[in-house]
Amino acid sequence: MDNPFRLSCTFWFTVFYIVHTLFLVVFVMTSQRTSLSNLNKSNSGTAHWLSQRVWSVILIPITLFFVFSYVQHLGLDYKQNLLVYKNPIMAFLTFLFISITLLHFKQGAEVVIEDYIHGEKAQNLILKINTIFFVLMTTLIALALISIVFRHYWS
C-alpha cells in the first residue's frame, strides 16, 4: 500500500492545479476584456471576437492531445478507464480540454444569443442562463475528475 501522506499530497496537488487553472482562465479573460475595452471602448465586439480566437488557438494542441490519448484508450473497459484518469496529470489535461471547450461553446452561444434574441430582457436572461450553464458544467467536471483521483488514492 502506498504512503498515505504521498497520496494526500498527490490529491491536493491535483486539486490545486484544477483550481489554479480555473482562476487563470478567469484572470486571462478579465484582463483580456479590460485591456481591449480600454483600447476601443466603442466596440466590445472586438474584444469578444479576439477572445474567441485566442481560446480557439489554445484549444488546438489540447484537442490533439485529448483525441490521441482517447483513441489509445478506446477499447478499455470501465475499470481500466478509471485507472487512466486516476493519474492527476491525465485528469488535469482532461479537465483543461473540457473546460476550454465549454468556454468556447459559451462564447459562441453568446454571439448567437446577441444576434438572434432581440428583446433586451429575454437576451439578458438567456445570457445569464448560458453563463450559469458554463459555471455549473465546469464545476461538475472538476468535481468528477477530483472524485476519480481522490477515490483511487483513498480507497
Mean pLDDT lowest among 21-25, 119-123, 136-140: 21-25
Q: Answer yes or no: is pLDDT of 42 > 80.
A: no
The more confidently predicted of residues 41 and 25 is 25
Kindly report, residue by residue over 99-111, the tens digit of the pLDDT: 999 999 999 999 9
Dihedral angle at the C-alpha atoms of 76, 81, 87, 88, nearest 10 degrees?
140
In the chain, % of residues over pLDDT 70: 69
pLDDT mean over 18-47: 62
DSSP string spanning the chain? ---HHHHHHHHHHHHHHHHHHHHHHHHHHHHHHHHHHHH-TT-HHHHHHHHHHHHHHHHHHHHHHHHHHHHHTTT--HHHHHHHHTSHHHHHHHHHHHHHHHHHHHHHHHHHHHHH---HHHHHHHHHHHHHHHHHHHHHHHHHHHHHHHHHHH-
Q: Is the dihedral of CA 69, 74, 79, 80 positive or negative?
A: negative
Residue 32 grid cell = 483580456
Least confident interval from 46-50, 109-113, 135-139: 46-50
Residue 109 pLDDT = 94
